[in-house]
Homo-oligomer: A and B are copies of this chain.
């Protein structure tokens, strides 16, 4: 054999964190679309491809393709030339994603990130925040609110 270099240190388990990040990334688009579709349904009663595309900042064929994937994964339903709707699973995911997004933004602001920046960064970060980390953020927020006490605006 040639070189070895393999079993040097903890290099054996290391790759796992990249796999985790890749897995999270593969969910990111689904999560963003499902949340957005939920928003549109709340506002207008349905989510049209055009509106989805506009809000996501993509062209309509791109939005169509994403919706196809959502349907394939059982998160959305739609019929030709009609609006897009969420399945129960889709609605649940949307709700979880929305809460996580909100918690993350609140948390970032609480630790001193400018609101504008927090919103921008959160859009990408959120998809990599695990449940354990989210709980830590929530705990932090509760404590901060408790100690900042009186002068806290809902």
Is B136 in contact with A111, judged by CB distance below 8 angstroms?
yes
Chain B residue with Cβ nearest A111: B140
Contacts of A55-110 to chain B: CB distance below 8 A = 55-57, 108
Q: How far is the CB of A154 from chain B (nearest CB, A)?
A: 21
Is B112 in contact with A139, judged by CB distance below 8 angstroms?
yes
Q: With a CB–CB cut-off of 8 A, which chain B residues contact A24?
A: 124
The quantity of this chain's copies bound in the complex is: 2
- Interface band, chain A: 35 or more
Measured CA separation A20–B126 after assembly (Å):
14
Q: With a CB–CB cut-off of 8 A, which chain B residues contact A28?
A: 21, 25
Provide the main secondary structure of the chain A interface: helix
A116-154 Cβ-contact flags toward B at 8 Å (1 or 0): 011111011101111011001101100000000000000
Q: Known contacts being A112-B140, A140-B112, is A6 close to B127, with CB within 8 Å?
A: no
Q: How far is the CB of A35 from chain B (nearest CB, A)?
A: 11
Most buried by B among A123, A139, A140: A123
- Interfacial residues, chain A to chain B (CB-CB below 8 A): 3, 5-6, 8, 11, 14-21, 24-25, 28, 32, 43-44, 48, 51, 54-57, 108, 111-114, 117-121, 123-125, 127-130, 132-133, 136-137, 139-140
